[in-house]
Structure 1
């Protein structure tokens, strides 16, 4: 692989966001079309996207006493903007600082809990966890998701070192796509292509 780890984020004028991670996990070519070729998704017209964004405007907050007793929270920061020299940036819904000296990101999802957490949700928490580690120099071994359409059900998600390593590999590939214009392979889940806004141009790019 061509010196991807040595790419200079400052010179490139680009940093990775959680949206980039989610879109890459859906299909790597999203990043190529949207961030390298600057072809808009026109996502403002998509109901699901709009609805997902409004959850951050009117979501119900968990009771602080509940968090303190159940999770051992000693401090709680809300809507925290963080950036990192790794070329990452994002706003964490909440950062929970715990009694054992560790911290955990908490993210609200306008979704129902389906008895499992999806990969994109797990890696979004991992992304926030890495930002927290870089900024606060504390261990982050888990995160939490609140599923607002399941009566604010709170789910704990473990964050392992292998997940951090995989995330950093994803960030390296993302950066090579955006900075160097490398055309990535498509998603292996072909059903995702049916409703893709880039489907008409995807296979025409050489």
Structure 2
């Protein structure tokens, strides 16, 4: 592992995902230290995740494009070099043609195309797995709970670079305590932090 830089503010993968959804969310959490409101949707989602964990242990791996592998639930991974940490919903460890490989899988309560912030969340997890296990991670999976749909996401070098640039942008925002513009106001209606945005009606 790379040594952590002394001035590197530690971040979670969820900070990256939320920043790409709306940069004000990590601003409220880390700059203003506003406690995150717990909504009914979040509580219900936690219960669904627990049930899915139970059912996942009994399912085959064919839908993920694998014949066999070892499931690792809620795997914690950390990179001092990136100043990044996270907990994956599921990682499948399997044998590739020449080396052991790792497939990151995230469970999401959504349907349709995979959201951009979720794609980069997977890319961030890929970086963490690559550093932890010394092997390349080229693919990730989003399991969409409502329709039991498996979406495969290709992890590219451009995505890895974008993740690192975004982590720098988050840290600059935190150091400068700069209040960011919302990503898009179309998302404000469902945001649990909406009441803290005085410029949103």
> TM-score per shorter chain, which class?
0.7 to 0.9
More helix by percentage: 1
- Structure 1's 158 and 62: CA in aligned 2 closer, same or farther, altered over 3 A? farther
Q: Count residues in correspondence.
A: 189
Partners of 1:55 and 1:109 within 8 A in 2: no
1:88 paired with 2:87, answer no
The answer for unaligned runs of 5 or more in structure 2 is: none
- Structure 1's 203 and 95: CA in aligned 2 closer, same or farther, altered over 3 A? same
Partners of 1:141 and 1:158 within 8 A in 2: yes
Work out the CA distance in 2 between the residues paired with 1:69 and 1:175: 35
TM-score (norm 2): 0.81
Work out the CA distance in 2 between the residues paired with 1:108 and 1:154: 9
Show the counterpart of 2:33: 38
Work out the CA distance in 1 between the residues paired with 2:64 and 2:141: 15
What is the CA distance between 1:201 and its match in structure 2?
4.8
- Structure 1's 61 and 179: CA in aligned 2 closer, same or farther, altered over 3 A? same
Partners of 2:64 and 2:141 within 8 A in 1: no
Pick the aligned partner of 1:166 from 158, 162, 165: 162
The answer for unaligned runs of 5 or more in structure 1 is: 1-5
1:22 paired with 2:32, answer no
Work out the CA distance in 2 between the residues paired with 1:145 and 1:126: 12
SS for the counterpart of 1:164 is helix
SS for the counterpart of 2:86 is strand
What is the CA distance between 1:49 and its match in structure 2?
2.0
RMSD of equivalent CA atoms: 2.5
Work out the CA distance in 2 between the residues paired with 1:78 and 1:95: 6
TM-score (norm 1): 0.79
